[in-house]
Structure 1
């Protein structure tokens, strides 16, 4: 399978990305209830198109990653946070997640960030392995932070430097 094409999202991607998001919904990585109609727009003020990178295989959108400033504070303007990474079930295990993660780190660096962070649910072993392989380290754990499908799940905070400081 060829390498995925990674590009910046455009407003017209909203419908496709929303459908991808809904198809991928699972308590493995979501803490909010499953979406029901009428669906909210994928893009909003907090997550505009320019905060999203899209992965394509053979011209079809198969994934995305959201990259934002975690707060509006000047004191942490050097940090970017991943607030969503989804890969279509049919495209998993083909390097799409890794390519999106690498592209997000490169984009964060282009934006002047020196650090990138994310949150992942403790029971999501595949995502944690992807992030670890991408140079992220566990920086904190909030034990039992969420109750999902009848069990308590840890919220794992991960991060990595984009420079050597």
Structure 2
């Protein structure tokens, strides 16, 4: 089992792109995403996930998870919200890395004047739902039968967390 005593968390950097692309390919599948993520190039990845748009967690030189964040739209009236997505390498799950990333995100959001964190999770991913609930996220809404994945209709669950300022 992996040890997390030397875990570090920081904002993503340009040099992380290769590891983060591999992590996306490993983590995002039909159970965790409406469509698997398959980056066609490093440039495409960096355009969608620029340096600094994720908190990355690592042990020694290996990135074992990340928490991506961005405002949901370009509207000025939406700048107080960060929409999140979290990915943890399967070999490093259930070690508290996701919780540490979420704690770091809540602190960063408060520092940056963000008032609300939100995320979406598929109803077919009960482990992720339980994790988000354990981090204090609450149900905001449910888009019933929003996706058809491998012939099964799947709900899109919307969750949120208030940042008290």
Q: TM-score, normalised by structure 1?
A: 0.90
Report if the CA contact (8 A) 2:25-2:36 is conserved. Answer: no
Kept in 1, the 8 Å contact 2:119–2:158? The answer is yes
Matches within 5 A, 1:28-107: 28-33=31-36, 35=38, 38-39=40-41, 41-44=44-47, 46-82=48-84, 84-107=85-108
1:141 and 2:146 are equivalent in the alignment: no
Question: What corresponds to 2:117 in structure 1?
Answer: 116
1:25 aligns with 2:37: no
* Cα distance in 1 between the residues matched to 2:25 and 2:162: 31
Residues 15 and 42 of structure 1 are in contact (CA less than 8 Å); yes or no, is this contact kept in structure 2? no
RMSD over aligned CA atoms reads 1.7
Q: Closer, same or farther in 2 for the Cα pair 1:152/1:39, shift >3 Å? A: farther
Contact conserved, 2:28 with 2:36, CA < 8 A, in 1? no
Counting matched residue pairs gives: 161
Task: Give the gaps of 5 or more residues in structure 2.
Answer: none
Look up the match of 2:131.
130
Q: Against the structure 1 CA distance between its residues 34 and 42, is the aligned structure 2 distance closer, same or farther, given a 3 Å change threshold? A: closer
Contact 2:123 2:155 in 1 (8 A): yes
- Give me the whole-angstrom Cα distance separating, in 1, the residues matched to 2:122 and 2:41: 24
Gaps of 5+ in 1: none
Return the TM-score normalized by structure 2.
Answer: 0.90
1:51-86 CA-partner distances (Å, limit 9, x unpaired)? 11101123311011111011111112111110x211
Tell me how far 1:39 sits from its aligned partner.
Answer: 4.3
> Could you list the per-position Cα deviations for residues 81-114 of structure 1 after superposition, in whole angstroms to 9, with x for gaps in the alignment?
10x2111111001011111112122211111101
Equivalent residues of 2:29, 2:35 under 8 A apart: no
Asked if residue 152 in structure 1 is aligned to residue 159 in structure 2, the reply is: no
